[in-house]
């Protein structure tokens, strides 16, 4: 019997108190949510932590946002990207480290997915493109939470993946009654990140065309599958999830468009290892 969902949610919401998420992350989240905080104050607070600042700048300059000039200060990043994007970047920079430490290949998969989201968003000329690459970076956050906080359940899930040759998310649903999309969403909601970012992450294995942010979800759903089909990093299992045809319809993409997107991935993701 899967555990009680509310209990599980409480357990996930406590993740932000783990020592692996440094205090600065929570402090920045609080500052972003306060209407009194100015861009200068926020920039100064982030800049106090040199490790996080360097990681945030690295992400800002890694091609997701398409700036023609390199961004060299946190202050500049805050002005250009806005509070919420910077907040999710601070979380991403921390989570990426956890990914590297906890699940082999997940970091590479997430980077590939973030860049593929940008490629698709550019292809369909999506209006607002800031959140979409962050959604790609954070979409499998739930797997990190699972690995970090539920050792026993994680082992049972990995066992199903190995022995029954299941998709990771299907094994999660069997053991826990929820998949990592929803679990990641619980933490991101607690962080008060915008629904435009949270909903696609929650739904990335369960695309539904009638949802509020279906276009962003369709991009993420497609990007995740394309990255797995081409083995950029690892999603934790050997299978490729099925593509929902309605996601292509939502994005008005033909098979020729998808081939063109895959061609660009081939060019632009050369530095990401295939596994």
- Compare residues 42 and 201 and give the one whose CB is closer to Fe ion: 201
- Compare residues 43 and 236 and give the one whose CB is closer to Fe ion: 236
Binding of Fe ion at residue 173 (CB under 5 A)? no
Beta bridge partners of 183: none
- H or E element, residue 5: helix 5-13
Shortest Å, Cβ 181 to Fe ion: 6
Shortest Å, Cβ 110 to Fe ion: 7
Shortest Å, Cβ 204 to Fe ion: 6
- Compare residues 43 and 241 and give the one whose CB is closer to Fe ion: 241
Size of the site for Fe ion (CB under 5 A): 3
* Beta-carbon contacts of residue 106 (< 8 Å; ≥ 6 apart): 99, 140, 143, 144, 233, 234, 235, 236
Shortest Å, Cβ 95 to Fe ion: 13
Classify residue 66 as exposed, middle or buried by CB count within 10 Å of its CB (0-12, 13-18, 19+): exposed
DSSP state of 185: H
Phi, psi of 18 (to 5 degrees): -65, 145
- Compare residues 9 and 205 and give the one whose CB is closer to Fe ion: 205
Q: In whole angstroms, give the CA distance from residue 61 to residue 40.
A: 20
The number of beta carbons lying within 10 Å of the beta carbon of residue 127 is 7
Q: Is 126 left (phi over 0), alpha (psi -120 to 50) or beta?
A: beta
- Compare residues 59 and 86 and give the one whose CB is closer to Fe ion: 59
Q: What is the contact mask toward Fe ion in residues 140 to 159, using x (rule: CB under 5 A)?
A: x-------------------
Q: What is the contact mask toward Fe ion in residues 72 to 101, using x (rule: CB under 5 A)?
A: ------------------------------
Site for Fe ion in 197-236 (CB under 5 A): 224, 235
- Interacting residue ranges for Fe ion, rule: CB under 5 A: 140, 224, 235
């Amino acid at each position: 019997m899967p555990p009680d969902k509310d209990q599980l949610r409480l357990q996930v919401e406590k993740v932000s108190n783990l020592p692996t998420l440094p205090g600065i992350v929570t402090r920045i989240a609080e500052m972003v949510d306060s209407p009194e905080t100015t861009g200068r104050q926020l920039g100064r607070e982030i800049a106090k932590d040199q490790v996080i600042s360097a990681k945030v700048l690295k992400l800002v300059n890694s091609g997701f946002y398409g700036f023609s000039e390199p961004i060299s200060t946190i202050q500049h990043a805050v002005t250009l990207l806005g509070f919420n994007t910077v907040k999710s970047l601070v979380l991403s920079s921390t989570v990426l480290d956890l990914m590297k430490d906890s699940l082999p290949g997940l970091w590479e998969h997430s980077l590939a997915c973030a860049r593929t989201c940008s490629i698709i968003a550019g292809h369909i000329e999506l209006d607002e493109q800031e959140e979409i690459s962050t959604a790609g970076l954070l979409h499998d956050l739930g797997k990190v939470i699972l690995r970090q906080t539920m050792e026993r359940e994680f082992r049972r899930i990995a066992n199903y993946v190995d022995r029954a040759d299941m998709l990771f998310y299907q094994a999660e649903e069997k053991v826990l009654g929820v998949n990592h999309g929803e679990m990641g969403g619980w933490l991101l909601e607690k962080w008060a990140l915008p629904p435009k970012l949270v909903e696609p992450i929650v739904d990335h294995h369960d695309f539904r065309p009638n949802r509020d942010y279906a276009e962003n979800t369709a991009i993420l759903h497609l990007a995740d599958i394309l990255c797995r089909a081409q083995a950029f990093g690892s999603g934790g299992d050997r299978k490729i999830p099925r593509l929902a045809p309605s996601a292509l319809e939502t994005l008005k993409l033909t098979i020729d468009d998808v081939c063109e997107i895959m061609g660009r991935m081939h060019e632009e993701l050369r530095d990401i290892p295939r596994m």
